[in-house]
Structure 1
Amino acid sequence: MVVIPAHVLKEAEIDNEASILPVSGGDSNQSFQIRGEHNRYFLKWREDPPPRLFQKEARQLSMLGNAVGVNVPEIARYGDHYLLLSWIEGNAASWTEEKLGEMIADLHREKGEYFGFDEDNFIGTLPQYNAMTDRWIEFYGNYRLLPQMEEADKRGRLPKERGKKAHQLVEKLHKWLSEPAYPALLHGDLWAGNWLVGPDGSPYVIDPAVSYGDPAFDRAMMALFGGYSARTMGSYDAKVKRDEREEDILPLYQLYFLFAHLNMFGEMYGSSVDRILRRYVG
């Protein structure tokens, strides 16, 4: 049984009379529903988080929530060891999937002044390095793929042939990728578990790994693990024009997420990494 330290409960201003119920909430943190007399909250807590983990997450949620048409949980409080959010109680409606596609399209219509981000953040439990650049393809190679490849090498998960092909692919990214029309605001980790249904059927996004870049980067993760429904993607397509070479682009972006999973969870993801490398560099 996980016990939240008293100092965290005090800092988060959680009433002594509140009930605290563990809930499922990912691999990185302990998650709880806090039931008070008048309100319910979602608490993420970690005993030994990386520096400013929850502060950065709160900032990124605020950024997403400031985008027109994008819903996120309300940020109640946060500190070095916790993030306290409003509790989102789901009530799916027949139009929820369409609204989800529209909301992600609205997110991708938010324009930034540069590619990348102004501070490092996290993808899952791993650091995600950032810079503010003028060129997206260069950013993707240098600040997404290469750091994951270096991490894989440290963990003994980049055998010689895999490493050789991965470096060849990074050098040839310009062969397959084009510079986006503008730096779009990206969620950064849009697998199907990172959105919730709100009380009126509206979708909410959570657990961001924000940057500005190619919207296809988000769509790559959306298609990777189970994917999103045809209804969701249809409503997305009504607002955002996708590249006609999408089928060739998405695996290149999925490679980043697969490398991250390789580093977090092990060689079970190695064959997927190798399959994409073979597709592009033989």
Structure 2
Amino acid sequence: MVAQGGVISTSSCFLSLPRHCRPSSTKPPRLALVAMSDDPIREWILSEGKATKIIRISPVGGGCINLASRYDTDAGSFFVKTNRSIGPSMFEGEALGLGAMYETRSIRVPRPYKVGALPTGGSYIIMEFIEFGVSRGNQPVLGRKLAEMHKVAKSKKGFGFDVDNTIGSTPQMNTWTSDWIEFYAKHRLGYQLKLARDQYGDSTIYEKGQRLIKNVGPLFENVVIEPCLLHGDLWSGNVNSDKDGEPVILDPACYYGHNEAEFGMSWCAGFGGAFYNAYFEVMPKQPGFEKRRDLYMLYHYLNHYNLFGSGYRSSAMSIIDDYLRMLKA
């Protein structure tokens, strides 16, 4: 996750763990003197990007997985992320998600331009550079525009996405599935629980989580669930505003799912009452929303446990235990 516009995002949702990401270096990048054909980023900017010269390349801080840079040119600015160890598939998933959200013409996202492989290994993505404003956006406007995206962007294929992608750096499986409960149980909670067992030997959380998965049906009684396009990783670091104060969302982990799953990162997104009121004016609240809210948070707590360690285990276990008591499972 990385910020654009030179803004470094911070959030209290992350614990102060040694393994947590640190802001990327603010030292200027060294510009290698290479032929244009050896630098596909420059090559694209100076051809399809319609620039005739690159004025400067500046680092953009805030990244913990990828390096980010701003390319200023005589044709405008571009935002570029690179990863020296991961192939193009990660950025291809991001580009497809950004493209899908961009096409809804609802909430502003950076327009993706190009994904490719680096000659020395790794990959890159070039996208629109958005100059951020001074605030994180108007909460009611954010709620309304997010709901508009959920309302207009539906899938006839069911729940999932055309490609697998990542949530942070964790693989996210998006195999098309006709039933939401099955999809969420297998490709979201089930995958994370198995990862915790394999990575930490945590058989307790795995076994209790499996019991929960098998008993979640009552939480969805009398609920109409449509496959809506979700950003998928909507926390405060991925929400900002442009210079006009319009909300901008970035760094997605998109898939088509139950719209309520979008609020799974609400524990560190800062959504208030004004946000939810505006959202539910467009997408009416379904029966039992409050009972399902923690179920969707659980996926992200498990992912943080798997990414950053045991500091997040107790939150995940508490949610599982509460649901097992509620469902008498």
Structure 1 length-normalised TM: 0.90
Cα 1:77/1:136, change in 2 over 3 Å? same
**Conserved in 2, the CA contact under 8 Å of 1:88 and 1:197?**
no
Superposition pairs for residues 176-191 of structure 1, below 5 Å? 176-178=219-221, 180-191=224-235
SS of residue matched to 2:267 = coil
Q: Counterpart in 2 of 1:259?
A: 302
Q: Residue 77 of structure 1: CA displacement? A: 2.4
Q: Counterpart in 1 of 2:216?
A: 173
Q: Determine the C-alpha separation between the residues in 2 that align with 1:147 and 1:94.
A: 32
Q: Determine the C-alpha separation between the residues in 2 that align with 1:133 and 1:4.
A: 46
Larger CA Rg, structure 1 vs 2: 2
Point out 4+ residue stretches in structure 1 off by more than 4 angstroms: 1-6, 14-17, 92-95
Q: Residue 51 of structure 1: CA displacement? A: 4.6
Q: Determine the C-alpha separation between the residues in 2 that align with 1:216 and 1:94.
A: 22
Alignment partner of 1:194 out of 238, 247, 250: 238
SS of residue matched to 1:133 = coil
Q: Residue 47 of structure 1: CA displacement? A: 0.2
Q: Counterpart in 1 of 2:289?
A: 246
**Conserved in 1, the CA contact under 8 Å of 2:88 and 2:115?**
no
Q: Residue 26 of structure 1: CA displacement? A: 3.4
Q: Which amino acid aligns with 2:241?
A: V
**Conserved in 2, the CA contact under 8 Å of 1:180 and 1:213?**
no
Q: Counterpart in 1 of 2:180?
A: 136
Q: Residue 270 of structure 1: CA displacement? A: 0.6
Q: Counterpart in 2 of 1:71?
A: 108
Q: Determine the C-alpha separation between the residues in 1 that align with 2:286 and 2:176.
A: 24
Q: Determine the C-alpha separation between the residues in 2 that align with 1:66 and 1:26.
A: 26
Q: Determine the C-alpha separation between the residues in 2 that align with 1:169 and 1:4.
A: 53
Cα 1:21/1:231, change in 2 over 3 Å? same
**Conserved in 1, the CA contact under 8 Å of 2:54 and 2:71?**
no
**Long gaps (5+) in structure 1:** none
Q: Counterpart in 1 of 2:125?
A: 83
Q: Determine the C-alpha separation between the residues in 2 that align with 1:64 and 1:242.
A: 22
Q: Residue 191 of structure 1: CA displacement? A: 1.1
Alignment partner of 2:247 out of 203, 207, 210: 203
Alignment partner of 2:142 out of 96, 100, 105: 100
Count of residue pairs brought into register by the alignment: 280
Q: Determine the C-alpha separation between the residues in 2 that align with 1:94 and 1:191.
A: 11
Sequence identity (%): 30
SS of residue matched to 1:91 = coil
Q: Which amino acid aligns with 1:185?
A: L
Alignment partner of 1:236 out of 279, 297, 300: 279
Once the two structures are overlaid, the 10-residue window that deviates more, 119-128 or 16-25, is 16-25
Q: Determine the C-alpha separation between the residues in 1 that align with 2:235 and 2:136.
A: 21
**Conserved in 1, the CA contact under 8 Å of 2:219 and 2:291?**
yes
**Conserved in 1, the CA contact under 8 Å of 2:88 and 2:124?**
no
**Conserved in 1, the CA contact under 8 Å of 2:193 and 2:205?**
no
Cα 1:35/1:229, change in 2 over 3 Å? farther
Q: Determine the C-alpha separation between the residues in 1 that align with 2:60 and 2:317.
A: 35
Q: Which amino acid aligns with 1:10?
A: R
Once the two structures are overlaid, the 10-residue window that deviates more, 71-80 or 1-10, is 1-10
Q: Determine the C-alpha separation between the residues in 2 that align with 1:85 and 1:261.
A: 27
Q: Residue 16 of structure 1: CA displacement? A: 6.8
Q: Residue 189 of structure 1: CA displacement? A: 0.9
Cα 1:18/1:94, change in 2 over 3 Å? closer
**Conserved in 2, the CA contact under 8 Å of 1:120 and 1:129?**
yes
CA deviation string 1:120-153 (max 9, x = no partner): 1111101111221211001100111111111112
CA deviation string 1:73-98 (max 9, x = no partner): 12232213111122211235897322
Q: Counterpart in 2 of 1:19?
A: 56
SS of residue matched to 2:171 = strand
Q: Determine the C-alpha separation between the residues in 2 that align with 1:229 and 1:92.
A: 19
SS of residue matched to 1:238 = helix
Q: Counterpart in 2 of 1:122?
A: 166
SS of residue matched to 2:45 = coil
Q: Residue 217 of structure 1: CA displacement? A: 0.2
SS of residue matched to 1:79 = strand
Superposition pairs for residues 46-65 of structure 1, below 5 Å? 46-65=83-102
